Amino acid sequence: MPYMQRDALIQASQFQSTAARTPPGLVVQQLSLSYPGNGSALVDINLDIPAGAVTAVIGPSGCGKSTLLRCFNRMNDTIEGCRYSGAIYVGDNNVLAAATDVTALRRRVGMVFQRPNPFAKSIYDNVAYGPRIGGIRRKRDLDEIVERALRDVALWDEVSDRLHTGALRLSLGQQQRLVLARTIAIEPEVLLLDEPASSLDPISTLKIEELIYELKHTYTIIIVTHNMQQAARVSDWTAFMNGGKLVEFDETDRIFTNPVERATEDYITGRYG
Amino acid sequence: MIMATGQSLPGQRRWQRVLGTLMIWLTAAMVTLSVLTAGAFLGLLLWFAGSWLTAEGMASGGVLVRFWGNLQQLLFQPSASLGIEAMLPAIIGTVIMIILMTVIVAPLGVLVAVYLSEYAKNTWYTELLRIAIQNLAGVPSVIFGVFGLGFFVYAVGGEIDGWFYAETLPRPTFGTPGLLWASLTLALLTLPVVIVASEEGLARLPTSMREGSYALGATRFETIIRVLLPAAGSSVLTGVILAIARAAGEVAPLMLVGVVKYAPTLPVSLQAPFIAFEQKFMHLGFFIYDVAAHANVGEGRLGLICAAAVLLVGLVMLLNLTAVLLRKRLRDRYQALSEE
Amino acid sequence: MSEKLSYKQHISAQFNAELDAIKNDLLEMGGKVENQIELATEALLQTDSEPAEAAILIDRSINRLEVEIDEQCARILARRQPAASDLRLIIAIAKVTTDLERIGDEASKVARVAIKLAPVQSPQPTELRFRRIANHVNRMLRQSLDAFARQSVEQAVKVVLSDADIDDDYHSAMTELQQAMRTHPDHIEYLMEQVWALRSLERIGDHASSIAEQVVYLARGVDIRHADNEGLRNLIN
């Protein structure tokens, strides 16, 4: 039953002709990953992430949820000795293939991290960073991109009068929205959010969640969070992971009212596992 | 809290507290002492320099007039009677050499630091490299002079002469001590300082900053050039400041690789190529040594030395101040990461 | 999945205590309602106003419990943000409380009828059927509360299915009352009261059935309120 609904959802988004663009869904096939000296971090993950929706990945610390997220843009490549097998399709391309141009992939699959990590540059230069390394040089084009990205994350009104001051002077909540703007500025198709609100106060958290809701029409969003209420609030689909394995994947409504797996139930109701 | 309840501290803890208090007072006393000593020393320097400059000698008139007269004399005119050269060429030589050294050591040090911090994996080789760099800082400076003479002047300079200046041989052009070799030798001498400071600056940047750049599709090179180095800029500048301070004080190695008592022309000119890399030049540090060792100034010698020393100290301070201001501007613009 | 959710302990002992407290309150309320129905039907059948007075008195403490349980539900929703089985438990408890309170109201109505009828000797053509209907709804309520306490889907489904069993008695009793009205038009006022009482008993059966439906939602997460008998039987097989 859930699978049929999921397929319908994917199809529906594929046939959306009115939308300006259609983000791709992600298909994970038999993904396994290991770190040196640390055994298996991911074990045989199979997962269909629907397009144009928010998918939350939840699970206890060390369950591999962040590791899974970092597979989607090959961020794990920066870790020495990390080995993986299987396939992840973003649209038609296998991300994990050796031939994949990783920098091009990362421009398709953007990522926002746990702690806000703006560069030690001005607000403007932070947002313009991605477009600039993408080869956009004309000031008029950059101005336009920066303004649109900042408007998209509802930061424009707060910073438009000090675009050329240091980004590190912003509050943490503003910094995280700036980082989101920086990611949006390169127009990715998929957004990976790694506990994007875990270091923010509740109001900033709500702002980020509101943004996620706004952005999901144009992006396929995958959010890793240890805050279950947050997953329940923002996501359409929820994946529960434990011990490097995918335990359950279903519509968020179902996961939070009537999960199938016992382990899921125990985790989201806060019982001893 | 223990005191409040009227109980005495256990013996060991009480002893530790007494010891701790003692240490703090001892440190404070030592710091005060050293600051006072340095202050007194500088005061003495100024006093001697001042009294020599205002003494009735070459010029006469009021105190200020005598001061100006003597200073001008000292700066611009060699004095046969005193047996000294003019000081200005020495000042210019010192400044040019330090600037040239900075231009060489800063990129070189940053390059090595980037390699060690961003590219090199942690192997026995890089470990060895780090130890070597740290040991380099402990080598007596005159050894650098010997190395500069042997390697730069004779080996490299000789080769250059063989290739490009063969027509003037056997009179050497680069195969003899000169400004370039002196700058290079000092650059080598101060390289460890710049490397260590820059590497620490880079290492302090959080991984998340690198990942943030990679996640936007930047290559490692773009990340280093556009994100990491600007962010580590103030650390690099700190290293450069320390390097300048160290280089400005060196005399011994320079005597082997380019400094002379008297150079007929300045190493800089207003015509291209502006800097004469191969020329020998004068240096303030050497000037002090020369006055101390050879000048014919009788009773006033100490005052003359002090005046030159004050100038040298002032010069180093000025160079440092420039770099410090530059660093402050950099920090102000983007708020240092360490304040987080 | 096991038939009964064997509750493992929450990491928060406080949360456990809160859930235990609210469940206990609900079962206490259920016990009071059962007692109230017994007293009311007893009064009606024995034409004795004394147990009827007692039944009406109980209604007050039932109402108080309803408010209390609702408050606890709101508190847990606000402060614990329960999910999955915990969420279903709170929703089910809130709904069951409402059903119990309505049952209490119906029982009070029956008790009032009993008080009205006690002094008069009106014909009671339907005593047998009345008794059977009363016993049946009483059993339904007890079983649905029992099913709730044990989260037994099987027992709950049986309660829902048994709701149809009183239909025959209900219609026969109605017919008999109509006949009595024709033959004793002078007693029509009292016979009408009996119709109301009968109607109340039937409503109690409906509410008991609704409680049983909440049990299935609680245990399985399935809403069976509008399922047909076929679907219900599939649940327990």
Alpha carbon distance B34, B53 (integer Å):
28
Q: Is C150 exposed, middle or buried (0-12, 13-18, 19+ CB in 10 A)?
A: middle
> C193 CB contacts (<8 Å, ≥6 apart)?
C113, C116, C117
The single-letter code of the amino acid at A179 is: V
Reported as a single tens digit per residue, the pLDDT across C27-71 is: 999 999 999 999 998 888 888 888 999 999 999 999 999 999 999
How close C38 gets to chain A, by Cα (Å)?
37
Per-residue pLDDT band for A112 (boundaries 50, 70, 90) equals very high
Matching residue, tokens 């809130």? C94
- Domain with C206 in it: 13-236
Say what the pLDDT of residue B335 is: 53
Say what the pLDDT of residue A32 is: 92
CB atoms within 10 A of CB A189: 20
How close B260 gets to chain A, by Cα (Å)?
46
Closest alpha carbon within chain C to A232? C83
Nearest to C12 among A232, A256, A270 (CB): A270
Closest alpha carbon within chain C to A254? C84
Residue A10 has pLDDT above 50, yes or no: no
Matching residue, tokens 């400005």? B248
A136 touches chain B (CB under 8 A): no
Nearest to B334 among A80, A106, A168 (CB): A168
- Averaged pLDDT, B198-218: 91
How close C100 gets to chain A, by Cα (Å)?
24
Closest alpha carbon within chain C to A264? C84
The reply to whether C6 falls in a domain is no
Say what the pLDDT of residue C141 is: 93
Alpha carbon distance B263, B93 (integer Å):
10
- Inter-chain CB proximity B333 and A115 less than 8 Å: no
Closest alpha carbon within chain C to A269? C83
- Inter-chain CB proximity B216 and A104 less than 8 Å: no
Residue A214: both structure tokens together: 């706004």
C11 touches chain A (CB under 8 A): yes
Say what the pLDDT of residue C21 is: 92
- Inter-chain CB proximity A269 and C86 less than 8 Å: yes
The single-letter code of the amino acid at B203 is: A
C13 touches chain A (CB under 8 A): no
- Averaged pLDDT, B241-254: 86
Phi-psi category of B335—alpha, beta or left, where left has phi over 0 and alpha has psi -120 to 50? Answer: left
More confident residue, C35 or B158: C35
How close C213 gets to chain A, by Cα (Å)?
16
Strand partners, A90: A26, A93
The single-letter code of the amino acid at A195 is: E
Least confident stretch, B19-33, B163-177, C57-71, C92-106: B163-177
DSSP letter (8 states) at residue A88: E
Q: Is C92 exposed, middle or buried (0-12, 13-18, 19+ CB in 10 A)?
A: buried
The single-letter code of the amino acid at A266 is: D
Residues of A in contact with B211 (CB under 8 A): 75, 78, 111, 113, 117
- Averaged pLDDT, A96-110: 91
Residue C188 has pLDDT above 50, yes or no: yes
Bond prior to B273 in cis (omega within 30° of 0)? yes
Residue A257: both structure tokens together: 């009212």
- Please give the full DSSP string across C78-142, using - where no structure is assigned: HHH---HHHHHHHHHHHHHHHHHHHHHHHHHHHHHHHHHHTTS----TTHHHHHHHHHHHHHHHH
Residue A71: phi, psi to the nearest 5?
Answer: -75, -30
Alpha carbon distance A172, A167 (integer Å):
10
- Averaged pLDDT, A33-44: 84
The reply to whether C7 falls in a domain is no
- Counting as contact any 3 or more CB pairs under 8 A, the partners of A are B, C
Closest alpha carbon within chain A to C16? A271
Chains B and C touch (3+ CB pairs under 8 A): no
Residue A237: both structure tokens together: 């689909």
Nearest to A121 among B206, B208, B334 (CB): B334
Alpha carbon distance C237, A246 (integer Å):
30
Closest CA to B78 of B275, B306, B295: B295
Chosen for mutation from A240, A253, A254, A269 (greatest number of chain C CBs closer than 10 Å) is A269
The complex's ipTM?
0.86
Say what the pLDDT of residue B26 is: 94
A18 touches chain B (CB under 8 A): no
How close B129 gets to chain A, by Cα (Å)?
21
Strand order in the sheet with A245-251: A109-112, A190-194, A220-224, A54-58, A237-242, A245-251
More confident residue, A92 or A131: A131
Least confident stretch, A193-202, B9-18, B295-304: B295-304
Say what the pLDDT of residue B83 is: 67
- Inter-chain CB proximity A118 and B230 less than 8 Å: no
Say what the pLDDT of residue C4 is: 39
Per-residue pLDDT band for B2 (boundaries 50, 70, 90) equals very low
**Which positions in chain A have a beta carbon within 8 angstroms of at least one beta carbon in chain C?**
228-229, 232, 255-260, 262, 264-266, 268-272
Average pLDDT of chain C? 87
Residue B109 has pLDDT above 80, yes or no: yes
> In this structure, which CATH number among 3.50.50.60, 3.40.50.300, 3.40.1360.10, 3.40.50.1860 belongs to the domain A2-118+188-269?
3.40.50.300
- Averaged pLDDT, C223-236: 82
- Per domain, the residue ranges of chain A are 2-118+188-269
Closest CA to C210 of C160, C175, C161: C160
Say what the pLDDT of residue B297 is: 62
Residue C6 has pLDDT above 90, yes or no: no
Average pLDDT of chain A? 87
How close B333 gets to chain A, by Cα (Å)?
6
- Name the domain count of chain C: 1
Closest alpha carbon within chain A to B121? A80
The reply to whether C3 falls in a domain is no
Residues of C in contact with A268 (CB under 8 A): 83-84
- Inter-chain CB proximity A106 and B217 less than 8 Å: yes
The single-letter code of the amino acid at A205 is: T
Interface A–C counts its CB contacts (< 8 A) at 43
Alpha carbon distance B101, B91 (integer Å):
15
Residue A11 has pLDDT above 50, yes or no: no
- Averaged pLDDT, B256-271: 78
How close A103 gets to chain B, by Cα (Å)?
4
Least confident stretch, A148-157, B163-172, B238-247, C217-226: B163-172
- Averaged pLDDT, C199-224: 92
3-state secondary structure of C60: helix
Closest alpha carbon within chain B to A71? B215
- Counting as contact any 3 or more CB pairs under 8 A, the partners of C are A
- Inter-chain CB proximity A232 and C83 less than 8 Å: yes
Reported as a single tens digit per residue, the pLDDT across A131-160 is: 999 988 999 999 999 999 999 898 999 999
- Inter-chain CB proximity A269 and C84 less than 8 Å: yes
Per-residue pLDDT band for C1 (boundaries 50, 70, 90) equals very low
CATH number of the domain enclosing C39:
1.20.58.220
Residue C146 has pLDDT above 90, yes or no: yes
Say what the pLDDT of residue A13 is: 41
Reported as a single tens digit per residue, the pLDDT across B5-23 is: 455 667 778 888 889 999 9
- Inter-chain CB proximity B213 and A119 less than 8 Å: yes
Say what the pLDDT of residue C102 is: 95
- Please give the class, per CATH, of domain B89-339: mainly alpha
Q: Is B110 within 8 Å of B228 (Cβ atoms)?
A: no
